[in-house]
A and B are shown apart, each in its own frame.
Chain A
Amino acid sequence: MFPVMNHSQGTDMFQQRTSTFIPWFHRAITAGWLVVFAAFGLPVHASPQAPDVFMQQLSNELMEVVRKDPAVKAGDMQKLANLVDTRVLPNVNFQRMTASAVGPAWRQASPEQQKRLQEEFKMLLVRSYAGALSQAKDTHTILVKGFKGSTEDNEVVVRSEIRGGNEAIPLDYRLEKSADAPGGWKIYNFNILGVWLVDNYRTQFAQEINAKGVDGLIATLAERNKSNSRK
């Protein structure tokens, strides 16, 4: 009650002293609200960004970062891991990726095991991402060609190509609609040259799990990451 009264009193005083100030004041507030709506309000009501538009933006943004920072391209793992954490992972459903690579054993794994699997798998993938970036040239661009499905679908496949070499390299992504992702979509699998990454890890992981169990797989992944980081 008290602050409201105080506020209205203040407005009254304004009105009495500087009447020309009022229209300006109102307009500023209106404009302010418009900005707030534009930033938060509208996207909630409008349909989410089209998945191909989102992927083109994300690709351009990442290529730009790599182009500007030679250390990332040269394989500075610290910087690269940082880039992945801040720019890539918010747009990835990494839990789904790991679960899919682990297969049926995922459901039997404890939350702690699941957490460890995600951490180690992530480190392994950052390593392969570094490998891909080290092959990239400044002339390379990523061209998104469209997507399969409609914006109403919960899962779509976005098709793109890496251009700039003498042969286009196909690069496809599986995306799921996600309310908490910055672009409204999250990647949960990708395909380069016809090879789905998650699927390719499935046999590897199944071999380890069949031989040594989930903890065995975690240990193998950790060991591999450790020996990779020594290089």
Chain B
Amino acid sequence: MLRLSSILRLCLATLLLALVGCASTSGANPLDPFEATNRKIDAFNERVDQAVLKPVAKSYQDYTPNLLQSTVKNFFGNLRDMWSVVNNGLQLKPKETAETGARVVVNSIIGLYGLIDVGTPMGLQRHTADFGQTLGYWGMPSGPYVVLPLLGPSTARDTAALLLDRHGDLWGQINPVASRNQGTALRLVDKRSQFLGMDDRLTEVALDKYSFLRDAYLQKRRAEVRRGPPSDVDELEEKNNDLDNKSMSNNQ
């Protein structure tokens, strides 16, 4: 409960900050009305990452055995898969629900509580889904882009959904709180270690890292929400045309 409430507070703070920022930057990118505030939070996140998270993730990657790393990754991946099954179900996607569900069963039982990923070699693919995506699937618009302190890119809808996402994730039920928090920290480090190297590339290929990441995040989320059967090109096409028109009108 402690964790949940602290996240809640973070979100509220973000929204407040965002509202404050709104006044100063109206009329910029329509998808990102809180750009000024978002950029500040982004810069803050970047500093925290460079000072703490990235070095820790780097030593985790360099100095712990590979077997341990993959075990940690599999375990938290399996927890995430459980929540994905629920959300694929809520989105009425039978194939994705069944395949991810079978994966969870196999990995939890044969794979010893998810420590070993037996599902992948068996050809059971993961279909990640979260509650923000479910809300989008049922027609809720994403709302403005927000950068959450420590958590990074999100949208108003995805931030609201995050509360349930954290709750639906079984790790949130672990007691005592101390072990839960330790586990959450490990999970964060594991997650970050998977993106090492990628952020350097991003710095290299983006002219403005902030807007590059924002546009990529928004495009990716929209595709995830609108993708019925995997990668529905009709939707992609339509979306692309939308973007075409938008960017043209922006520039004129």
Contact = CB atoms under 8 A, between A and B. Distances in A.
Interface of A: 103-105, 124-125, 127-128, 131, 134-135, 145, 148, 157, 159, 161, 165-168, 170, 172, 191, 193-196, 199-200, 202-210, 220-221, 224, 228, 231
Given A128-B205, A194-B224, A204-B207, A135 B251 contact: no
Interface residues of B, number: 42
B197 A134 contact: yes
B237 A148 contact: yes
Contacts of A220: 207
A168 B230 contact: yes
Interface of B: 29, 77, 117, 119-120, 125-128, 197-198, 201, 204-208, 211-212, 215-216, 219-224, 227, 230-231, 233-234, 236-237, 240, 243-244, 247-248, 250-252
Contacts of B216: 195, 200
Given A134-B197, A194-B227, 16 more contacts: A104-B248, A125-B205, A127-B205, A131-B201, A148-B237, A161-B230, A166-B117, A172-B236, A191-B236, A194-B224, A199-B215, A202-B243, A207-B208, A224-B204, A228-B204, A231-B204
Chain A, interface SS category: helix
A194 B247 contact: no
Contact of B198 (A127, A131, A208): A131
Contacts, number: 114
Given A104-B248, A172-B233, A194 B197 contact: no
Contacts of B125: 166-168
Contacts of A205: 207
A82 to B, nearest CB: 20
Contact of A193 (B29, B212, B223): B223
B82 to A, nearest CB: 15
14 contacts: A135-B198, A159-B231, A166-B119, A167-B127, A168-B125, A170-B230, A194-B223, A194-B224, A196-B240, A196-B243, A204-B208, A221-B207, A224-B207, A228-B204
A166 B106 CA distance: 14
Nearest to A103: B251
A192 to B, nearest CB: 9
B219 A157 contact: no
Contact of B233 (A159, A166, A210, A231): A159
A142 to B, nearest CB: 14
A231 B204 CA distance: 10
B251 A204 contact: no
B207 A195 contact: no
Contact of A199 (B201, B206, B247, B250): B247
B250 A206 contact: yes
A220 B206 CA distance: 11
A5 B29 CA distance: 79
A-B complex: 9 closest residue pairs judged by Cβ atoms: A194-B223, A131-B201, A170-B231, A167-B126, A128-B205, A148-B233, A204-B207, A166-B120, A195-B219
Nearest to B209: A204
Contacts of A193: 220, 223
Contacts of A131: 197-198, 201, 204-205
B2 to A, nearest CB: 32
Given A134-B197, A172-B236, A199 B248 contact: no
Contact of A128 (B201, B243, B244): B201
